[in-house]
Amino acid sequence: MRIFSLEGKLAAALTFWSLLTSVVLALWLQWFDSAAWAIAASVLVLVLPALILARHLASPVAALIRAVSGSVSAFGDGDFSFSIRNTRRDEVGDLVAAHNELGRVLREQRQNLFQRELLLDTVVQNTPTAMILIEPGGHVVYANLAARGLLNSGRTMNGADFNVIVAEAAPQFSEALNLGTDVLFNIEIDHEEETFHLSQRQFKLQGRTHRMVMLRRMTRELSRQEVATWKKVIRVVSHELNNSLAPIRSLSHSGRELARRGDLDRLERVFDTIEERARHLGSFVQGYAHFAKLPVPQRSTVEWLPFLAALGQHSPFRLAGPPPTTAGWFDRGQIEQLLINLLKNAVESGGAVEDIELAVTLHGRDVRIEVRDRGPGMSETVLANAVLPFYSTKRSGSGLGLALAREIAEAHGGRLQLANRPAGGLQVTLILAQAEDAARSQAKGNAAP
């Protein structure tokens, strides 16, 4: 037990009061013959000092408790500036010290939170992406500087009706908003066409569903990507042309010498080689032209069993499970070409041909077509770039197979996914929407600028 603790102070006070009571009682017993009168006299004499002593002991504790109570109420109101002077060395002093430390920590946390909010607001306000937060009633809660400059001539938008702002903006912006998905659209600004990316997200804020609209100017980025793509195209085309033209040039010279010598047997082989290189060059150019001019899908009802049977004539595979009884809805020629490319890649992956599987399943409103192999799979870098045009890890690859497959999938309102299999190998998944979803996706695509 500490000497200066409440318990120690109370024990000392009781001990002192007991001794004082004993002394006073002994004195009164000398004056009175009756013990009852002595006790009564002692009580009368000691009541007032007892009250004064109790008040002296309890008053500081009560004052500190009232101070702590008021400070805690201030903490509840968000005011952390209170601190209580403390000179006590008992449990009440420990409580006051803990209270003061709590106030200091809360003040530091509020200061740090304010600095982080200031930093976040500075970043959001100065980002080139226009950001508008809209509450459920359709009014703007927050808009950064880019949004004000783009949609409201630099004026504040807080509290404004977002529908009114959209009505005064370019019609392409309203059409992109109505699609409800991420979309690219073009707007003419100062007699120059600008490309924007629009994205919309919904989330709950203080229990209410809010909508965040983000607009990003993509013109410069797309221009840089276009230039980089063209440079890559030129490098690939130049490489392929040189690979074909160099031997043709050399063989032409050799053919001229053989013709001069009259060696017709060897001359025929020279012409055959020239024809082969010319055919390869024609196929290469035709592949690029086909990628650049992919026709709009002509969807129709396709029964799965005959379709898969015909596909098996082009490339071997093992069907994993029965296909759906519901017919598919897609461009038969394009999807067949897509799957032929995927199966060809599976054959060339290095795994056993008999391990190549094709599965067709229904998942909700989507059809999933999976092509699986047991090759080495792909590294993370290759997975991230595999569907990009002109990207290839094959020595003689054009880098157009998977890019064309993705183009066909997206033209059908679907998507292409690549993933390594847990036990080794690669799985390429084609996800296609059913008839109603595909038609809706096509309508949105036609409405987009």
pLDDT for 1? 46
pLDDT for 236? 63
Mean pLDDT (the chain, rounded): 79
Residue 437 has pLDDT above 60, yes or no: no
Q: What is the mean pLDDT of residues 10-38?
A: 68
**What are the b/e assignments for 200-210, b being 16+ CB within 10 Å?**
beeeeeeeeeb
Which tokens sit at 100?
């003061």
Which tokens sit at 404?
């064309």
Q: What is the mean pLDDT of residues 55-64?
A: 73
Residue 365 has pLDDT above 60, yes or no: yes
Strands 192-205 and 300-302 come out as unpaired
Q: Are 189 and 217 in contact (CB under 8 A)?
A: no
DSSP 139: B
Q: Which residues contact 154 (CB under 8 A, 6 or more apart)?
A: 148
Which tokens sit at 204?
């709950």
Higher pLDDT, 316 or 248: 316
| DSSP H/E element including 105 | helix 91-126
pLDDT for 439? 44
φ and ψ at residue 152, rounded to 5 degrees: -140, 30
Distance, in Å, from the CA atom of 182 to the CA atom of 213, rounded to the nearest integer, reads 10
- Stretch among 3-7, 23-27, 194-198 having the lowest mean pLDDT: 3-7
pLDDT for 296? 82
Share above pLDDT 90 across residues of the chain, in percent, rounded to a whole number: 15
pLDDT for 337? 85
Which tokens sit at 319?
């069907």
pLDDT for 134? 93
φ and ψ at residue 422, rounded to 5 degrees: -60, -40
pLDDT for 444? 46
Cβ burial, residue 345 (10 Å; 0-12/13-18/19+): buried
Residue 419 has pLDDT above 50, yes or no: yes
As a dihedral over the C-alpha atoms of residue 321, residue 324, residue 330, residue 335, rounded to 10 degrees, the angle is 10
Q: What is the mean pLDDT of residues 61-88?
A: 79
This prediction has a pTM of 0.43
Higher pLDDT, 18 or 110: 110
